[in-house]
A and B are shown apart, each in its own frame.
Chain A
Amino acid sequence: MVFPDGTEALRDVSFGVDKGEFVTIVGPSGCGKSTLLKIASGLLEPTSGQVHADRDQIGYVFQDPTLLDWRTARGNVELLAELHGVEAGERRRLAAEAIELVGLNGFEDHYPKSLSGGMRMRCSLARSLTLKPPVFLFDEPFGAVDEITREHLNEETQRLFRTEGFAGLFITHSISEAVFLSTRVLVMSARPGQIVAEFDIDFEYPRLPELRFDPLFAELCGQVSQNLRGSHA
């Protein structure tokens, strides 16, 4: 991917994500991770190469919650179904279901300004869940929330991945987040972004929070980290 100003953001990046897989890409900031997601979703046209994906109903969770300030949590969650022309009763049912899934019950009628950062992110997750997308893209969604909320949200994402059965592509610069969530971790180098290493993560799901203190978990994180630093040098 080369931008009009000559910046080469990505070079020779090739990989697949199967149903039931959760692939995470870790890389230094500015390595083209977000560009990769935008290409995968069709928001950007690649200058060369191809994307094969069912892009009709794609779940996309942005870096920010990107909620509509003038809608309540419920109104925000209903938005996508609304854009796809789902009729009101069904929309309401889908929204209620998604709100239940992310544990936002009781806050349906709150406006974003009175929700905490973590709750806004949950709301954003719920919004994507309403369409039951077969492919879910996450663009560093939990970068702006505090560590504890982030761990909670990680556990919930993992639970949703198991229950909803989507193919997940997750972008982050947190190594432990990557290892905790994924079936596979790809390490990307600094610009132009290239995939320099690949790790299969074989821990059983459901993964419990305590997994983070497992020596094997730490070792994997170490290896990913080493590759990440190697690519940076």
Chain B
Amino acid sequence: MTERNAIQGPGTVRSLSQRLLPPMILGSGFVGIWYFIAYGVLEPRRRFLLRPPHEVIQVGFLEWDNFSLILNSLWSSTKVAMMGLSIAILIGFMLAITMSQAKFAERAIFPFMVTLQAIPILAITPLIGFWFGTGQTSRVVVCVIISLFPILLNTLFGLQSADSGLHDLFTLHHANRITRMRKLMFPAALPAVFAGLRISAGLSVIGAIVGDFFFGKGDAGIGQLLRKHASQLAGEELLAAVIMSSALGVTVFLFFGWLQERSIGRWHETTTGAG
């Protein structure tokens, strides 16, 4: 937490500019290369492959019809992601708690979790379509499958991370399982739980978009929009939609970083980056 140690007053301004300047330089470089490819590399008739930045902003963001469509789709996918993430958190917590209570359960469940994690999501989307239809349910299922593993693994790891001396202390004073879970294992797990949450939250956004890409029934989301723009070679709208999807991912990541700092920042030294 370097910014907290920074000298107050003029120093704060300096440290803020020190934080913002490097990504700004890199960002302008990136936009420069983008322009260079759009105007320097591509001939005018092939420019539809990469529209220049100002046209993307003009068409994708400033034309309200296009932008409101993006926002609506984005909102629909956000709902899927939130639903999927909530279910993944619920299942992940329950499995991790079960596994932390009985070695047998851990041995039994773990291989299946690894297997589930190892299946490429694209390989099972057709199956998911067969079983759950091509609507909202399937989108959420994809989302859950993608985001379950990190939350489960990190929660389990966190629950097992409590110091053995502390476990001895609880044993000496005859604490039962529930007390031990509530006062020792669960709080000790929180930093790892938040690390898992941040990864899973990002994945849930990806899951929602991937799911939406394959399943078109019902409330269409950003995946369907990307698909439509791609088939119409609408480069500006496509890029605008991509930018907004990643903005959603970043927002979710920052939100959980903020939540982490708020809930455990007082006692835990945060070592992760931004947010």
- A187: shortest Cβ distance to chain B, in Å? 26
> Complex Cα distance A70/B269, Å?
11
In the bound complex, residues from chain B placing their C-beta under 8 Å from that of A84 are 173
- A23-31, A58-66, A92-100, A194-202 - interface stretch: A58-66
CB of A144 within 8 Å of the partner chain: no
Verify if A41 is at the interface (C-beta below 8 Å from B). Answer: yes
Q: What mask results when residues 98 to 142 of chain A are scored 1 for a CB within 8 Å of chain B, else 0?
A: 000000000000011100000000000000000000000000000
Number of A-B contacts (CB under 8 A): 52
Q: Provide the residues of chain A in CB contact with B163, threshold 8 Å.
A: 64, 66
Say whether B267 contacts A112, CB under 8 Å: yes
What residues of chain A lie closer than 8 Å to B170, measured between beta carbons?
83
Which of A60, A68, A111 lies at the interface centre, i.e. has the most chain B CB atoms within 10 A of its CB? A68
Binary flags per residue of B168-193, CB closer than 8 Å to A gives 1, else 0: 11111111000100011001101000
Question: What is the minimal beta-carbon distance from A143 to any residue of chain B, in angstroms?
Answer: 13
Q: How many residues of A contact B (CB 8 A)?
A: 22
Whole-angstrom distance from the CB of A85 to the nearest CB of chain B?
Answer: 10
Q: Flag B259-275 by CB within 8 Å of A: 1 or 0 each.
A: 00000101111000000
* A43 B168 Cβ-Cβ under 8 A: yes
Are B267 and A111 touching (Cβ within 8 A)? yes
A42→B172 CA distance, assembly (Å) = 8
Tell me if A175 is interfacial: C-beta within 8 Å of chain B. no
Interface: A80 (CB within 8 A): yes
Residue of A whose beta carbon sits closest to that of B266? A111
Chain A CB within 10 A, most for which of B166, B172, B174, B175: B172
Residue-wise interface mask of B (148-165) relative to A, using a CB-CB cutoff of 8 A (1 in contact, 0 not): 000000000000000101
A interface secondary structure, majority? loop
Residues of A within 8 A of B173 (CB): 80, 83-84
Closest to A43 in B: B168
- Asked if A70 and B264 make an inter-chain contact with CB atoms under 8 angstroms apart, the answer reads yes
A112 to B163: give the CA distance in the assembly, Å. 14
Main SS of chain B's interface residues? helix
Chain B residues within 8 Å of A64, by CB: 163, 165
Q: How far is the CA of A140 from the CA of B266 in the complex (A)?
A: 30
Q: Is A83 a contact partner of B179 (Cβ separation < 8 A)?
A: yes
Chain B residue contacts of A43, Cβ below 8 A: 168, 171-172
Shortest Cβ distance from A65 into B: residue? B165
Which of A62-89 touch B at CB < 8 Å? 62-64, 66, 68-71, 79-80, 82-84
B195 to A: closest C-beta gap in Å: 16
Q: Which listed residue, A62, A82, A83, touches B174 by the CB 8 Å rule?
A: A83
| Closest CB in chain A relative to B194 CB, distance in Å | 13
Chain B, residue nearest A60 (CB): B172
Q: How far is the CA of A38 from the CA of B172 in the complex (A)?
A: 10
Contact in complex: A68, B184 (CB < 8 Å): yes
CB distance from A104 to the nearest CB of B (A): 17
Q: A83-B173, A83-B179, A84-B173 are in contact. Are A66 and B165 (CB under 8 A)?
A: yes
Inter-chain contact B267/A60, CB cutoff 8 Å? no
**Contact code string B56-94 (vs A, CB < 8 Å = 1, else 0):** 000000000000000000000000000000000000000
Contact, CB under 8 Å: B267 / A69? yes
Judge whether A41 and B264 touch: CB under 8 Å: no
**In the complex, A63 Cα to B172 Cα: how many Å?**
15
Within 8 Å CB of B174, what residues of A?
83
Contact B166 A68 (CB under 8 A): yes
Query: What's the nearest-Cβ distance from chain B to residue A78, in Å?
Result: 11
Known interface pairs A68-B184, A83-B173; A62-B269 also in contact (CB < 8 Å): no
Decide if A62 touches B267 in the complex (CB within 8 Å).
no
Give the chain B neighbours of A111 by CB distance below 8 A: 266-267
The answer for the CA separation of A113 and B174 in the assembled complex, in Å, is: 27
Interface pair B169/A66, CB less than 8 Å apart: yes
Q: Which residues of B contact A70 (CB under 8 A)?
A: 187-188, 190, 264, 267-268
Q: Check B165–A63 contact: CB distance below 8 A.
A: yes
Docked-complex contact B169 and A62, CB < 8 angstroms:
yes
Most chain B C-beta atoms within 10 Å of own C-beta, residue among A43, A63, A70: A70
Interchain CB contact under 8 A, B172 and A69: no
**Given contacts A70-B187, A111-B267, are A62 and B168 in contact (CB under 8 A)?**
yes
Contacts of B190 in A (CB 8 A): 70
- Please name all residues of chain B whose beta carbon is closer than 8 Å to the beta carbon of A68 when the two chains form the complex: 166, 183-184, 187-188
Determine the chain B residues whose CB is within 8 A of the CB of A79 once the complex forms.
Answer: 183
Sample 18 A-B pairs with CB under 8 A, ordered by A number.
Answer: A38-B168, A43-B171, A58-B172, A62-B169, A64-B165, A68-B166, A68-B184, A69-B267, A70-B188, A70-B264, A79-B183, A82-B183, A83-B174, A83-B183, A84-B173, A111-B266, A111-B267, A113-B267
Which 7 A-B pairs have CB atoms at the shortest separation, nearest pair first?
A66-B165, A83-B173, A111-B267, A62-B165, A70-B187, A70-B267, A66-B166
